[in-house]
Amino acid sequence: MTANTSSAELVHIIGAGLAGSEAAWQVARSGIPVVLHEMRPGKMTEAHRTDGLAELVCSNSFRSDDAANNAVGLLHAEMRRLDSLIMRAADANQVPAGGALAVDRDGFSDAVTRALDGHPLIEIRRAEIEGLPPEHWRNVIVATGPLTSLALADAIRELTDESALAFFDAIAPIVHRDSIDMSVAWFQSRYDKVGPGGTGADYINCPLTKEQYEAFVGALMAGEKTDFKEWETNTPYFDGCLPIEVMAERGQETLRHGPMKPVGLTNPRDPTVKAYAIVQLRQDNKLGTLYNMVGFQTKLKHGAQQRIFRTIPGLEKAEFARLGGLHRNTFLNSPKLLDAQLRLRAQPRLRFAGQMTGCEGYVESASIGLIAGLYAAANARSTSLAPPPATTAIGSLLGHITGGHIETIEPGGRSFQPMNVNFGLFPPLASPPTRKPDGTRLRGNEKTVARKQAISARALADLDRWIAESLNIAAAA
Ligand SMILES: Cc1cc2nc3c(=O)[nH]c(=O)nc-3n(C[C@H](O)[C@H](O)[C@H](O)COP(=O)(O)OP(=O)(O)OC[C@H]3O[C@@H](n4cnc5c(N)ncnc54)[C@H](O)[C@@H]3O)c2cc1C
The tens digit of pLDDT for each residue in 116-141 reads 999 999 999 999 999 999 999 999 99
82 Cβ contact partners less than 8 Å away, ≥ 6 residues apart: 26, 370, 374, 394, 467, 471
Band of pLDDT at residue 441, cut at 50, 70 and 90: very high
Give ∠ CA 148-149-151 in degrees, rounded to 5.
Answer: 125
Pairing of strands 140-142, 343-344: unpaired
Instruction: State in Å: Cα 57 to ligand 1 middle.
Output: 7
State the maximum Cα–Cα separation within the chain, in Å, rounded to a whole number. Answer: 76
Instruction: State in Å: Cα 475 to ligand 1 middle.
Output: 30
pTM reported for the whole predicted model:
0.84
Instruction: State in Å: Cα 313 to ligand 1 middle.
Output: 38
Band of pLDDT at residue 426, cut at 50, 70 and 90: very high
The tens digit of pLDDT for each residue in 139-184 reads 999 999 999 999 999 999 998 876 778 777 778 899 999 999 999 9
DSSP 8-state symbol, 300: B
What does the pLDDT average to over 327-332? 85
Compare 4 and 459 and report the one with higher pLDDT.
459
Indicate the helix (H) or strand (E) that contains 102: strand 100-103
- Over its C-alpha atoms, the chain yields an Rg (Å, rounded) of 23
Reported for 66-71, long-range contacts at CB under 8 A and 24+ positions apart, including other chains, are 66/99, 67/456, 67/460, 68/452, 68/453, 68/456, 68/457, 69/449, 69/452, 69/453, 69/456, 70/452, 71/393, 71/420, 71/421, 71/422, 71/423, 71/425, 71/426
Residue 68 has φ and ψ, to the nearest 5°, of: -85, -30
DSSP SS3 for 57: coil
Nearest alpha carbon, ligand 1 atom 19: 361
Q: What is the pLDDT of residue 195?
A: 64
Q: What is the pLDDT of residue 392?
A: 98
The answer to whether 373 and 25 have CB atoms below 8 angstroms apart is yes
Nearest alpha carbon, ligand 1 atom 10: 361
Q: What is the pLDDT of residue 26?
A: 98
Q: What value does the mean pLDDT of the chain take?
A: 90
Sign for the CA dihedral angle at 60, 310, 451, 445 comes to positive
Query: How far is 326 from 299, CA to CA, in rounded Å?
Result: 6
Query: How far is 371 from 341, CA to CA, in rounded Å?
Result: 9
Q: What is the pLDDT of residue 375?
A: 98
The tens digit of pLDDT for each residue in 184-221 reads 999 998 888 876 667 778 899 999 999 999 999 999 99
Evaluate the omega torsion of the peptide bond into residue 41 and state whether it is cis, within 30 degrees of 0.
yes
Pocket probe for ligand 1: among 25, 144, 148, 168, the residue whose CB has the most ligand atoms within 8 Å is: 144
HSE-up of residue 336 (Cα within 13 Å, Cβ side): 15
For residue 350, give the nearest of 384, 375, 381 by alpha carbon: 375
Band of pLDDT at residue 3, cut at 50, 70 and 90: very low
Ligand 1 pocket, Cβ-based, cut-off 6 angstroms: 14-20, 37-40, 45, 47-48, 57-59, 128-129, 143-149, 152, 354-356, 361-362, 365
Query: How far is 230 from 214, CA to CA, in rounded Å?
Result: 33
Nearest alpha carbon, ligand 1 atom 12: 361
Atom of ligand 1 nearest to the CA of 47: 1
